[in-house]
Amino acid sequence: MKFVPQHKLGVGGMGEVWKAWDAELSRWVALKFLRGGNDEEIARFKREAQVAGRLTHPNIAAIYEVGEADGGVVVPEQAVDLRAASTSTRDTPTRGTPAAASASSAGSSRRRSATSAKRFASVP
């Protein structure tokens, strides 16, 4: 088995996310599983993964592939250590700029999101 699931990280509207070990490449990944879904939802899930897989950006987890497991769709992607990401100041706007004002007003929302997302995968 290429991916060895370790534990469930979370459940969302469309499915579950698991922390897993990629035995082939010796790295941690996050596995997104679509829960149920009709043909239209499956197509949308695959399409979103394909589009995200074409993106390269430091704030977007890399998509490794789109596959099927146990009759469902699975998307292995880059595991992100959100504890490190939530304390990073690399992308913090400089005080006094319009971006800083926008970031300040979004700060409480971002803190709530970071707190709830800390269950996400940590890379040892």
SS (H, E, C) the chain: CCEEEEEEEEECCCEEEEEEEECCCCEEEEEEEECCCCHHHHHHHHHHHHHHHCCCCCCCCCECCCEEECCEEEEEEECCCHHHHHHCCCCCCCCCCHHHHHHHHHHHHHHHHHHHHCCCCCCC
- Do the domain assignments include residue 24? yes
Q: How many structural domains does the chain have?
A: 2
Task: Specify whether 54 is located in the same domain as 98.
Answer: no
Q: To the nearest whole number, what is the mean pLDDT of the chain?
A: 75
| Cα angle, residue 73 at apex, residues 24 and 123 outer, rounded to 5° | 45
Task: Specify whether 74 is located in the same domain as 93.
Answer: no
Task: Specify whether 74 is located in the same domain as 86.
Answer: no
In the predicted model, is pLDDT for residue 9 greater than 60? yes
- Do the domain assignments include residue 45? yes
What distances in angstroms separate CA 79 from CA 2, 37, 64, 71, 85, one per listed residue? 16, 24, 11, 24, 12
Backbone φ and ψ of 40, nearest 5°: -65, -45
> Tokens 């070990």 label which residue?
21
Query: Which segment of 25-34, 65-74, 98-107, 114-123 scores lowest on mean pLDDT?
Result: 114-123
- Do the domain assignments include residue 123? no
- Do the domain assignments include residue 89? yes
pLDDT tens for 75-121 read 999 998 866 655 555 555 455 544 444 444 444 333 333 333 333 33
Task: Specify whether 9 is located in the same domain as 36.
Answer: yes
- Do the domain assignments include residue 99? yes
Would you say 75 and 32 are in contact if contact means Cβ atoms under 8 Å apart? yes
The pTM of the whole model exceeds 0.75: no
What six digits make up the tokens of 118? 């800390």
Provide, rounded to the nearest whole percent, the portion of the chain with pLDDT above 70: 65
- Do the domain assignments include residue 50? yes
- Do the domain assignments include residue 124? no
